[in-house]
Every structure is written in C-alpha cells, then in structure tokens.
Structure 1
Amino acid sequence: MLYNVYIPSPPLAAYVKCIWSLQVDGEPGILHKEKILPDGCIELIFHYGDKYRQYDSNEGYVLQPRSFVHGQMKSYIEVGPTGHTGMVAARFYPHGLAMFTKVPMQELTGLVVDVHTLFGSEAMHTEEQLGNARNEEERVAIMERFLLGRLRAATPRMDSVAYAVQRITANGGNIAVSQLAAEVFMSERQFERVFLATVGLSAKAFSKITRSQNGIKSAQAGKTTSLTQLALDAGYYDQAHFIRDFKEFAGVTPMQFFSDTHTMSDLFTGS
C-alpha cells in the first residue's frame, strides 16, 4: 500500500488541506471493507484504478462513480475495493469546496456526487488526463491545474466562516454558536445560515464531529489509557455523553472501535 500526502500550492492552500494519493496492487482482499468516519472535510476523489463499493446497513452495496465529490458526512460509511486501487484526491478544509463551485454545500451533505454533474466537461478532461498519467507527480500536477482553474474569488462571508471553523477547531469543538456569531458580527440566525451553506454542516454538528475526532486522535497518540480520560480529552464533561455521540458518529462504542483495525481511517486522520 502506497499512501502519500502533498501540500497544495499557495493559491490553493487556504482552501485545500492536502492532496493525497492511494495505490494498492493485488487482490481486493488486501484492502478489505473499511469504515470511514466523518472528519468535517469534503473530498474530491478521482479513481484511475478500479471503482469502489459503498455498503449499506443491510450489507448491500452500490458502486461509487469513478470520480466524485463526497459531501460532508454526519455518520460513518463503509467502502471496499473491487480490484486495483489507484486514486488521487483533494481534501478540502471544511469551508474550502465552496470556493470551487456555486452549489450550496448543504445540497451535497451525505451524498456521493459524480464530478461530471458538478464540474462538467472540465472534470471529464481531467479524469482522462489522470488515467493517462505516467506517475504520481503528474497526477498531482493535473489535480492542481484542475483546482486552480476552478478557484473563485474569496468573499467576506467566506472569511467569516473560515475564521469560525478555525475557532471551533482550536477550541476542540467547545465554543458556543452565539459567541462565534458575535465574533464575526452576525446574528446567530444569519451565521448558522451562512455556515451551513459554506461548510455543509451546522456549526453545532461540525463541533460534535470535531470533539469525536479529537478523541480518536488522542487515543491513537497514546495520550490516554482510560475511557473517562478520553472523554475529557475530547472536551466532554461525562463519559456517557461521549459514548453516545461517538456511537452516533462511528456506529459503535469507543471500545469496540479501538479494538478493530481501521486502515483507511488511520491513514486519513490528521491528514
């Protein structure tokens, strides 16, 4: 398995957290069905390998498009390969994709949207170029050219949401919406409307995901040895509240989650 992360060029860096690539040769079983957790970011994924399955709660599945945007997630999804894995992707900051399309982000939440639907012929041309690229460096350059061609001018509202995202992240998801609205000089109602359209989640939902991700990162870093301490590190006042939110987020309790192997979630956490 080859997983690499690249820092985007300066014009993109305010909106694109990273560009990443994943390549796995061999049988699908090498990379089995994997659970992917919400992290508050939106992904643009181009497959130059075989498509992936996305499973439902009844163990059925659909094939994902060859290339797509995955909108914000409120709960986990499970995916698995059908053959050779080869993909290059852009992981946007929570507010980032709004700079590349005029579609309100809440319209993409929970959905897998074919890139051709969002970006038309530009995406089709990019997909063809990626399929013909000789190496990873070429693929990353093609992705950057595509994004640079879509980049729109920033607006004051974008700056306000970017500031709010930074404040939520810096405070581990533990900051009141009313305080954020006051800091960006908006009414609470106006702030929530703008945040939802730009991020695809309410500020409250994004804060909850931030707290749960903090718990995972704390556990992965070996910073805690007890569930109670893990809850406190994630910003919860009691263990029961943390377990309830985590189960909504991951589909299982923290103990069940950390007892399993999650190759792709481990790769993506913190990228």
Structure 2
Amino acid sequence: MNIITLFPPPDLDEYVTGILIIESKTFSADFILPLYANGCPTLVFQTALGKRSGSDTGYLNLYGQTIQPETLMIRQPFTLIAFFMRPHIVQSLFGVSALELTDSYLDLSDIKPIKDTGLIDRLLAQPLINERLEILNGFIRWLAKQADDFNPKVLFALQYLKTNIHTGALSTLQTELNISERSLQRLFENNVGISPKMYKRISQFDRAFKQLTDGKFNSLTELAYSNGFADQSHYIRVFKEFTGITPKEYINISKPFNPKF
C-alpha cells in the first residue's frame, strides 16, 4: 500500500489544506479507512466503489463535517485521492448547504456540471496519479472562479478558534465581531455546518490528535494539559466521543492515514 500526503498548489491554498493519496494495488482483506472529526469537509475521488454508513459511495464524493466517527470500506484494489478543504467552502464552491452535509456526504456523479464535463470518466480513464491530481486541481480552480466571496467574519472566526482554546474564547470572539451569540451560531451553521462551540471542540481535539499520531508527547496527561483539557480523563472522554476508541487503543491500531498538514 502506497500512502502520500501533499500540500496543495499555492493558488489553491485558499481552498485546500492538504491532499491524501492512498493506493492499494492488491486485495487481501477489506480496506477500512476511519473517518474522524477534523473540522474539514473533504472531496474524495476513489477508483473503486465503497461503503459508508452501509450505503454505497460514488466515485467522487463531497464529505461534510464529521462529528460522529465513521468508516469508509473498499473491497477491491483502489486509488483514493482526498482533498481536505477549508471549513467554510462547501456553500461557496459547491452550492450545497454545509449544515445538510454534516455527518453525511454527497455523491457528485449526478451534479450537472460534473456530468456535462465528464469529470469522473476522465478521472477513471487516467491511470497516472499526477494526471488525476491535475484534473482535480483544475476542477477546484474552475469552481473557485465562480465562487462567491467568503464572509470575512467567518474567516476571522475560524482562524481565532483554531488558535484560541481558552474557556472564554467564544465570548471574546463575539466581542471581537460585535455580534450576538445567536448570530455567531447562525454564522457557523450556515457557513461551516456546525456550531462555533463544536468547531472549537473539534479544533482542540484535532490538535491533540495530530500530536498523538506524531508521537510528540511524553504522557497523556501532558498531552491533555497542553491542549486545554481539564485533565487526562477529560481528554480520553473527548477522544472516545470523536473516534469511538481510547487514545491507547488508537495507538495500538494506528495506521498512517492521517495527513500531517
């Protein structure tokens, strides 16, 4: 199995945080990719159909925000290319409600612009990963040219909550933006698909998750405190909420599917 992580081309950095490529040329057992909360919607192309939540996925899917842990299962050799998108791009780029996609996904095969351009057929017909990447990069560039401008309040709020994990962060953010709690709630639900409180929790979890995956910690207690959790027990509860397993169980079964963007 070949696993590659890439940064996007510079002109797509506004829309994409990173790219994950998984290539499996042989089949010996079902491939199961865990899907955990990371604050990013994801555009996923795969050369073989898979199953998520017991339903068949298409070849090109748009995943919304993930809260509940989920898996993608593929039962034959495949290549998978996942574009991890910025949290606020779903409505602007794809014209889809971010809230409706939360804990769900959209098979893009029936979307008119994709059918008209033969995008999926071109991706399936092209055997080279680099060429597939160029096709997908071109698709995102095409979407970006037609996209509405992003709400500056959303951009500020996302960056603020990504870097501020203190308990009063949401109240401070309301003051910074000069908006009410309800307005901040609507701003996030409409543009990100989750509440600002949930986004803050996911950002906190994801930061600790990346440290755990990279092995950059001396103890779970240290990891918990350095990421703003009350104690180790609090961190374990949150970790299990978003993954379904404990940190120690994750370490024992961990596979290198988590990109280090």
CA distance in 2, matches of 1:221, 1:28: 28
Displacement of 1:207 in angstroms is 1.2
1:105 to 2:98 alignment:
yes
Q: Which runs of 5+ in 1 are unaligned?
A: none
Q: Secondary structure at the match of 2:257?
A: helix
CA distance in 1, matches of 2:200, 2:229: 12
**1:16 aligned partner:** 16
Superposed, which structure 2 residues align to 1:186-197 within 5 Å? 186-197=179-190
Q: Secondary structure at the match of 1:20?
A: strand
Name the amino acid aligned to 2:17.
Answer: K
| Aligned counterpart for 2:123 among listed residues 121, 126, 130 | 130
Displacement of 1:115 in angstroms is 0.7
Q: Contact 1:19 / 1:140 at 8 angstroms: preserved in 2?
A: no
**1:39 aligned partner:** 38
CA distance in 1, matches of 2:176, 2:198: 19
Alpha-carbon displacement from aligned partner over 1:133-183 (angstroms, at most 9, x marks no partner) = 2412211111111111112445362x2212211111122475522221222
Name the amino acid aligned to 2:208.
Answer: G
Q: Contact 1:32 / 1:80 at 8 angstroms: preserved in 2?
A: yes
**1:260 aligned partner:** 253
Q: Residues 258 and 7 (structure 1 numbering): CA distance in 2 closer, same or farther, change over 3 Å?
A: closer
| Aligned counterpart for 2:149 among listed residues 146, 152, 155 | 155
Name the amino acid aligned to 1:33.
Answer: I
1:227 to 2:220 alignment:
yes
Q: Secondary structure at the match of 1:224?
A: coil
Q: Contact 1:173 / 1:210 at 8 angstroms: preserved in 2?
A: no
Q: Secondary structure at the match of 2:209?
A: helix
Structure 1 ranges of 4+ moved more than 6 A: none
Q: Residues 269 and 137 (structure 1 numbering): CA distance in 2 closer, same or farther, change over 3 Å?
A: closer
Q: Which runs of 5+ in 2 are unaligned?
A: none
TM-score, normalising length: structure 2? 0.89
Displacement of 1:108 in angstroms is 0.6
CA distance in 2, matches of 1:88, 1:222: 25
Q: Secondary structure at the match of 1:78?
A: strand
Displacement of 1:13 in angstroms is 1.4
CA-based RMSD: 2.2
TM-score, normalising length: structure 1? 0.86
CA distance in 2, matches of 1:163, 1:95: 11
Q: Residues 32 and 128 (structure 1 numbering): CA distance in 2 closer, same or farther, change over 3 Å?
A: closer
**Paired-residue identity, %:** 25
1:120 to 2:118 alignment:
no
